[in-house]
Amino acid sequence: MRAVDDEMRVPIDGELDILTARQDARELATALGFDGVSQTLIATAISELARNILKYAGHGEILLRSAARSGARGITVVAADEGPGIADPALAMTDGFSTGHGLGLGLPGTRRLMDDFDLVSKVGSGTVVTTTMWARRP
Amino acid sequence: MPVPILAQAPYLIASVQAALTDADLIGLQNGLLDEAQRRRCQGVIVDVTALDVMDSFSTRTLQSLAAMLRLRGVETVIAGIQPDVAMAMVRLGLTMPDVRTALDLDEGLAYLQAKQQGSAGRGQ
């Protein structure tokens, strides 16, 4: 098993990379003390984000890193691509809206899985989703 | 890793052993459709106890499989969705309303057997 760093970068170029990103996130989340339920929520969010990258941009990357805020530990997932971008980010955050013939749950669903969610997209230059889950205090 | 399909007449049991790639899932769907036809089976159980994530793609693929098999007169039971996986699915908006689910493989088999006995009784 690889050493767990505070930051991991997973290139997303094919469907196998989705599994790699999920596994890496579980390792980092375990190291940061997240419980099993939180790990599953994070892994599921990453699955959706990585799928979006493959579906709309073809390739991109998932960056995983630890986060801290007033004593709380968190895990931040950044999904970045240089794809076509999202013309109407507000519309893309609506349940059921999809241009990719999916269920249209990817982005709004991911927001419900995580605590913080930020979407920055520019048509023609790409999309960056930054999302964080904070560890529950014992 | 491809999913092994076991025949336990008149049912088929597919036990997922580890995380599935999209290709594995499509392979499972096609394999079950073929085997259900070949063995003239009456029910299919997909045991997903080992799955640690069910995202929109895997859920949609299993829903499609169940719909295709239903059109062939075969009922599908998804067994063993883990509690935290269920939690993530519902947050994501995936509730599989049209697919029969069961707590585990035993419950899934018991359901199919009860259903078969019920329909045999009605036929007399």
**Each residue of A13-39: pLDDT tens digit?**
999 999 999 999 999 999 999 999 999
Per-residue confidence (pLDDT) for residue B38, from 0 to 100: 94
Return d(Cα B101, Cα B103) in angstroms, integer: 7
How many Cβ atoms from other residues are within 10 Å of residue B87's Cβ? Answer: 15
Residue-level pLDDT at B94: 93
Where does B5-123 sit in CATH, by number? 3.30.750.24
| Whether residue B7 has pLDDT greater than 60 | yes
Read out DSSP for chain A? Answer: -PPPPSEEEEEE-SHHHHHHHHHHHHHHHHHTT--HHHHHHHHHHHHHHHHHIIIIIS-EEEEEEEEEETTEEEEEEEEEE-SS--S-HHHHTSTT--SSSS-S-HHHHHHHHSSEEEEEEETTTEEEEEEEEEPPP-
Chain B contact for A19 (CB, 8 A cutoff): yes
Chain A residues with CB under 8 Å of B52 CB are 26, 40, 43
Single out the residue of A56, A116, A20, A43 nearest to residue B92, CA to CA.
A43
Report pLDDT for A90: 79
Give the mean pLDDT of A40-69.
94
State the Cα–Cα distance between residues B78 and B99, nearest whole angstrom.
Answer: 7
Half-sphere exposure of B89 (CA within 13 A, CB side): 20
Instruction: Sheet with B5-8: list strands edge to edge.
Output: B5-8, B11-15, B43-47, B75-79, B100-102
Per-residue pLDDT at B10: 94
Structure confidence at residue A3 as a pLDDT band (50, 70, 90): low
What distance in Å separates the CA atoms of residue A128 and residue B19, rounded to the nearest whole number? 26
Question: CA B95 → CA A23, A43, A85, A114, B72, distances in Å?
Answer: 24, 18, 29, 18, 23
Q: What is the mean pLDDT of chain A?
A: 88
B80 compared with A84, residue with greater pLDDT: B80
**Contact list, B84 vs chain A (CB under 8 Å):** 36-37, 39-41
Confidence of residue B67 (pLDDT cuts 50, 70, 90): very high
Query: Do A119 and A127 meet the contact criterion of CB atoms below 8 Å apart?
Result: yes
* Cα A127 off chain centre by: 12
Which of A56 and A136 is assigned the larger pLDDT? A56
The distance of B121 to chain A (nearest Cα, Å) reads 40
What percent of chain B is modeled with pLDDT above 90?
82
**ipTM for the predicted complex:** 0.90
Q: Do A109 and B85 touch (CB under 8 A)?
A: no
Q: Residues A56-107: pLDDT tens digits?
A: 999 999 999 999 988 889 999 999 999 998 888 778 787 776 666 455 567 8
Ordered structural domains, chain A, with CATH: 7-134 (3.30.565.10)
pLDDT confidence band for B116 (50 / 70 / 90): confident
pLDDT at A138 over 70: no
Q: Are B50 and B14 contacting, i.e. CB atoms less than 8 angstroms apart?
A: no
Mean pLDDT (chain B, rounded): 93
How many residue contacts between A and B have a Cβ separation below 8 Å?
71
Give the residue-averaged pLDDT of B23-44: 94
Q: Say what the pLDDT of residue A41 is.
A: 97
What pLDDT was estimated at residue A1?
47
Q: Is the pLDDT of residue B124 over 50?
A: no
Determine whether the interchain pair A22/B19 forms a contact, defined as Cβ–Cβ distance below 8 Å: yes
pLDDT at position B68 is 96
Nearest to B21 among A15, A36, A41 (CB): A15
Mean per-residue pLDDT, B15-43: 93
Question: What is the C-alpha to C-alpha distance for residues A70 and A67, in angstroms, rounded to an integer?
Answer: 10
By percentage, how much of chain B surpasses pLDDT 70? Answer: 96
